[in-house]
Structure 1
Amino acid sequence: MPRLSFASFTVLIVRVAAAALGVSLLLTGCQGGSPPGKPSSETGPTTASPTSGASGSPSAAGSSATTAPSGVYKPANAKGKAQNVPVPVMPELAKENTKEGLEAFIRYWYAQLSYVDETGDMSSWLPLISRDCRLCIRLQESGEDGYTKGRWLAGGKISVPVVEVQWGAENGGPWAKVQVVQEAINYYNADGTAGRASDEQSNDAFAFFAKFADDKWTVVDLGLLS
């Protein structure tokens, strides 16, 4: 089962001049994360040090809220799937065609992707992507595979410590450089046996391209920054 993670995919390396500018600073911020390979049960929620001066620290308005279902949240483990996972709610700011709106949308998009990891439910995430986004489609295929025939994943929660939105024609906008941290993932078959070897924690920088049309944002391309 392919990992629902960006690190293990063969992805399009974004080669645009604007993406090259400042990416070393973002990657420096990525190095502040927890060491790769440490199980999520030991590290807990993973964070990484944001870049000095970066605009990615989530504000109250830009953070994605969640709706807690009835019952106590229980993360997935070797005995079964996650239960009562809080559902991400799109903030009103993420519906605006502004620099701040794009950042809020990006954080919500990754919150939904993390929810897909925990539940396999893509009903709210799929409407946010364009079918032209090749990596998005790979993520969809991976998520479907991870939960087919009774399978499930444990771990894999995603956090986004840094979002640097590039806005305006002079910056090639709208697009953003995003630091994405994902916890280690364990894979399980329907009978509880290990589905495959665990994946280590990942900490990467991505270029995130979106367009605003019909009063909403849609992801049109996604690529690994190097």
Structure 2
Amino acid sequence: MTRLSFASFTVLIVRVAAAALGLSLLLTGCQGGCPPSKPSSETGPTTASPTSGASGSPSADGPSATTAPSGVYKPADAKGKAQNVPVPVMPELAKENSKEGLEAFIRYWYAQQNYAIETGDSSSWKRLTAPDCRACNRIQEGIDDSNVDGRWLAGGKITVPVVEPLWTDNVVGQQAKVQVIQQRADYFNADGTTGRAFEKATNSAFGLSASFGPNGWTVADLGLIG
């Protein structure tokens, strides 16, 4: 994995564990949960308020709306897959080339990742992600593996309490620090047996790079801040 440099740091080493294929989609970092990152009084990160989407399911703690399919949303459990999962809708702010737009986009990107985790459909998430983002490709492998041969995942929901854009004027590429909290995830085979070992809940800090182009924002790189 490459290194991500931030203006407010020296050099931060990005660590992406290849062994985390099973839950690389969940971007595990601190096993068992680290204490939440403390907001810096100098940088002043924004803490999001919970969203009230159509059912509140795939939201990543941001202003992203959702459109609910017909039927009542039912999260996955030991008895079966999630049903009628609301589809995240990109907010207009996330289409802007601004500090606020970048934050809104990152929250929407994670909301789409939640949707992919619950449904196995990562098509919208992939369109927001650069094909050469190696960590993102591992996430995609994890999503695929979690849904192979009728397998499903219960839990694993992502919340994003803090997104701190490290904004630089007049550049295409921007960077941000993101706190990602993820619930415990359990895996089940099509016949209801255990698919593989569960994954612990995590609380991690990530460095995220994104670029703005004719089609809007794209996540270019991602990694754990070590």
Query: TM-score category by the smaller chain?
Result: 0.7 to 0.9
SS of 1:149's equivalent in the other structure is helix
**Aligned residues: CA RMSD:** 2.7
Worse overlay, 193-202 or 167-176: 167-176
- 1:81 partner letter: K
Distance 1:194 1:52, change over 3 A: same
Q: 2:198 maps to what in 1?
A: 198
d(CA) in 2 for partners of 1:72, 1:49: 35
Q: 2:73 maps to what in 1?
A: 73
Deviations 1:79-116 (A, max 9, x none): 10000111111000000111110000000000110111
Conserved? CA contact 1:55–1:163, under 8 Å: yes
d(CA) in 2 for partners of 1:196, 1:117: 16
Deviations 1:21-69 (A, max 9, x none): 6x9xxxxxxxxxxx9659xxxxxxxx95762543322378x61111111
Distance 1:86 1:17, change over 3 A: closer
Worse overlay, 110-119 or 47-56: 47-56
Deviations 1:119-147 (A, max 9, x none): 11112111001111000111011101110
TM-score normalised to structure 1 length? 0.78
Q: 1:164 maps to what in 2?
A: 164
Distance 1:88 1:219, change over 3 A: same
Q: Which runs of 5+ in 2 are unaligned?
A: 13-29, 52-61
Q: 1:18 maps to what in 2?
A: 7
1:58 to 48, 65, 86: 48
Q: Which runs of 5+ in 1 are unaligned?
A: 1-11, 24-34, 39-46
SS of 1:187's equivalent in the other structure is strand
Q: How much does 1:13 deviate?
A: 6.3
Conserved? CA contact 1:94–1:101, under 8 Å: yes
Distance 1:74 1:160, change over 3 A: same
Conserved? CA contact 2:172–2:212, under 8 Å: no
SS of 2:198's equivalent in the other structure is strand
- 2:9 partner letter: A
Q: 1:119 maps to what in 2?
A: 119
Conserved? CA contact 2:166–2:176, under 8 Å: yes
Answering whether residue 222 of structure 2 is matched by residue 225 of structure 1, we say no
d(CA) in 2 for partners of 1:48, 1:115: 24
d(CA) in 2 for partners of 1:148, 1:160: 27
Mapping of residues 173-184 of structure 1, within 5 Å: 174-184=174-184
Q: 1:131 maps to what in 2?
A: 131
Answering whether residue 202 of structure 2 is matched by residue 212 of structure 1, we say no
d(CA) in 2 for partners of 1:15, 1:194: 37
Answering whether residue 98 of structure 2 is matched by residue 109 of structure 1, we say no
- 2:94 partner letter: A
Identity of paired residues, percent?
Answer: 58
Q: 2:141 maps to what in 1?
A: 141
